[in-house]
C-alpha cells in the first residue's frame, strides 16, 4: 500500500494554558492598551519587552503590531526616507521589500547563493559602486550568512545593517544571537513563527538613539517613561518633538500570550531541530535532490526545511509537487512565474524596479520548501521524508528533469 501523510501543515500547537490564563486575566481588567495600566503596574507589554531583550542579548526592545511594522519602524529610526535605495536579499518574503516601499524608499536586490543566503560577493560589488546607506538583511527561512564577513563589508562601506530575524529567533552565528550583529533586529510573532500571537513583532537594538526614535515612532504619546527596555528620558528629549507617531504598538493581550511562550523558546527550538534533522536525514542521498549545507558556525532553528532541485525543468518540479500533494505532502516552490500564497519572488513585486539576477533565478527555480510545525511527530517526519524521497526519485528515474 502506498503511504500517505494525513497531517496538517498549517495546524500549530495550542496556546499554552498558562498563556491562556494570562490573556483571560488581562481581559478581565479591560486594560488592553499598552499604556493603560494601574498605579504601580508595569503592564504586560513593558514586562515582555524587558524579558525579550534579555532573551535576545540586547539592551533595548520594543514590541510592535507586526514583524512588518517592526521593519518599517527600524528603517525610519535609522533615517531611511523617500527615494533612498535600500539593499535587501533577492530571496525573501513580501513584507521585507514591502517595509522598504512603505517609506517611499526603493529596494535594491542582492543575489542569493545555493546556501540560500545573501551573496557576499555581489553585496561587496554593489557596496563599491554606490554609496548605499542601509541593508535590510533577511535571514530567509532561517539561513544565516557568514555574519563576520557580511559585517566587515558593511562596516567598511558605512552601511547600516538591519536584520530581519523572523525565521531566526533563537538562532545564532558563531555563538552570537541572531540580531546582535547589525544596528537593529526585527522579529515576528505571526502564527507560523517561533512565538505565536497571531500577529505581532519586536525591534531590538543596543543603540539608545535608535530605540528612542523607534519608541516615539511606535506611538508612545510621550509615555516613554513607562518602557522598561528603553533608554533614559534624556535620550528622548533629543527626538520627541521631531519624530512622528505612526502607531504600531503591541497590546497587553498579545503580550500576555507571548510571555509564557518566550520562557519556553529554547525548548521549542530544540524540538523544531529534532524534526528538521529527522527529515534531513531521511532525504540525504536522494538522487537529484540537494540539501542545504548548514555551516558549523550556524545555530539554526529548523521550523521549516528547504531543498533544491537544481537545474530541473519547471515541468519536472511541478510534477514532484503534484505527486507529493497527492500523498498529502504540501510543498511550496519559489520558482513559479506567478505568486502562490507566500512564495512570491523579487520580480513579483512590481512596485520596485528590478534588474534580472540570473544566479538568483537559477536558485529560486530550484527551491522547494516545507513547514515543520511542532504538531508533527518524529515518525511523521520520517514518513514525510520517505514520501518526498520516493516521488523525487520517481521523476528523476523517469528522466523528466531536463
**What is residue 61's three-state secondary structure?**
strand
Q: Which of the four pLDDT bands, split at 50, 70 and 90, describes residue 143?
A: very high
Sheet with 106-110, edge to edge strand ranges: 60-64, 201-205, 184-188, 160-164, 134-138, 85-89, 106-110
Res. 142: pLDDT tops 90: yes
Distance CA 380, CA 73 (A): 40
pLDDT tens figures, 305-339: 999 999 999 999 999 999 999 999 999 999 887 88
Cα distances (angstroms) measured from residue 67 to each of 38, 40, 163, 252: 28, 30, 11, 17
Which pLDDT value is given to residue 341?
79
H or E stretch at 159: none
Domains identified in the chain and CATH numbers: 17-263 (3.40.640.10), 265-397 (3.90.1150.10)
pLDDT tens figures, 219-237: 999 999 999 999 999 999 9
Distance CA 202, CA 248 (A): 11
pLDDT tens figures, 84-140: 999 999 999 999 999 999 999 999 999 999 999 999 999 999 999 999 999 999 999
Mean pLDDT along residues 168-193: 98
**What is residue 204's three-state secondary structure?**
strand
Burial of 293 (0-12, 13-18, 19+ CB in 10 A): exposed
Which pLDDT value is given to residue 1?
63
Percent of the chain with pLDDT over 70: 99
Mean pLDDT along residues 184-201: 97
The angle formed by the CA atoms of residues 373, 376 and 378, to the nearest 5 degrees, is 125
Which pLDDT value is given to residue 344?
82
pLDDT tens figures, 341-362: 777 889 999 998 888 999 999 9
Mean pLDDT along residues 5-27: 97
Which pLDDT value is given to residue 400?
62
Which residues touch 195 (CB under 8 Å, ≥6 apart)? 169, 189, 258, 261, 262, 265
Which pLDDT value is given to residue 402?
59
Q: CB–CB of 301/269 below 8 Å?
A: yes
Q: CB–CB of 88/100 below 8 Å?
A: yes
Which pLDDT value is given to residue 398?
87
Burial of 386 (0-12, 13-18, 19+ CB in 10 A): middle
- The full DSSP string for 346-400 is GGG-TTS-----HHHHHHHTTEEEEE--TTS-HHHHHHHHHHHHHHHHHHHHTT-
Helices (H) and strands (E) in the chain, counts: 13, 14
Q: Which of the four pLDDT bands, split at 50, 70 and 90, describes residue 401?
A: low
Mean pLDDT for the chain overall: 96
pLDDT tens figures, 20-65: 999 999 999 999 999 999 999 999 999 999 999 999 999 999 999 9
The angle formed by the CA atoms of residues 387, 115 and 201, to the nearest 5 degrees, is 90
Amino acid at each position: 500500500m502506498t503511504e500517505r501523510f494525513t497531517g496538517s501543515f498549517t495546524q500549530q500547537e495550542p496556546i499554552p494554558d498558562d498563556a491562556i490564563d494570562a490573556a483571560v486575566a488581562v481581559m478581565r481588567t479591560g486594560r488592553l492598551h499598552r499604556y493603560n495600566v494601574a498605579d504601580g503596574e508595569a503592564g504586560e507589554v513593558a514586562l515582555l519587552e524587558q524579558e525579550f531583550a534579555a532573551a535576545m542579548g540586547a539592551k533595548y526592545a520594543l514590541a510592535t503590531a507586526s514583524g512588518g511594522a517592526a521593519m518599517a519602524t527600524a528603517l525610519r529610526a535609522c533615517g531611511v526616507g523617500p527615494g533612498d535605495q535600500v539593499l535587501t536579499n533577492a530571496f525573501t518574503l513580501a513584507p521585507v521589500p514591502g517595509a522598504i516601499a512603505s517609506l517611499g524608499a526603493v529596494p535594491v536586490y542582492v543575489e542569493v547563493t545555493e546556501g540560500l543566503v545573501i551573496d557576499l560577493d555581489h553585496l561587496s560589488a554593489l557596496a563599491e559602486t554606490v554609496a548605499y546607506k542601509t541593508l535590510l538583511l533577511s535571514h530567509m527561512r532561517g539561513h544565516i550568512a557568514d555574519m563576520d564577513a557580511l559585517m566587515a563589508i558593511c562596516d567598511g562601506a558605512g552601511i547600516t545593517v538591519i536584520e530581519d530575524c523572523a525565521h531566526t529567533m533563537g538562532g545564532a552565528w558563531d555563538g552570537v544571537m541572531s540580531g546582535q550583529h547589525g544596528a537593529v533586529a526585527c522579529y515576528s510573532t505571526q502564527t507560523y513563527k517561533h512565538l505565536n500571537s497571531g500577529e505581532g513583532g519586536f525591534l531590538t537594538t543596543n543603540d539608545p538613539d535608535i530605540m528612542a526614535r523607534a519608541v516615539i515612532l511606535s506611538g508612545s504619546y510621550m509615555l516613554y517613561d513607562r518602557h522598561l527596555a528603553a533608554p533614559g528620558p534624556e535620550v528622548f528629549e533629543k527626538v520627541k518633538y521631531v519624530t512622528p507617531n505612526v502607531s504600531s504598538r503591541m497590546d497587553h493581550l498579545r503580550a500576555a500570550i507571548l510571555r509564557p511562550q518566550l520562557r519556553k523558546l529554547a525548548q521549542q527550538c530544540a524540538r523544531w531541530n529534532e524534526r528538521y534533522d529527522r527529515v534531513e536525514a531521511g532525504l540525504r542521498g536522494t538522487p537529484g535532490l540537494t540539501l542545504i549545507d548548514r555551516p558549523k558556525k550556524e545555530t539554526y532553528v529548523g521550523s521549516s526545511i528547504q531543498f533544491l532541485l537544481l537545474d530541473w525543468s519547471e515541468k519536472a518540479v511541478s510534477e514532484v509537487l503534484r505527486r507529493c500533494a497527492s500523498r498529502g505532502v504540501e510543498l511550496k516552490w519559489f520558482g513559479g512565474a506567478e505568486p502562490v500564497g507566500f512564495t512570491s519572488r523579487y520580480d513579483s513585486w512590481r512596485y520596485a524596479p528590478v534588474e534580472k539576477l540570473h544566479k538568483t533565478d537559477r536558485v529560486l527555480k530550484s527551491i522547494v520548501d516545507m513547514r515543520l510545525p511542532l504538531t508533527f511527530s518524529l515518525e511523521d517526519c520520517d514518513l514525510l521524508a520517505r514520501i518526498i524521497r520516493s516521488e523525487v526519485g520517481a521523476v528523476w528515474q523517469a528522466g523528466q528533469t531536463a
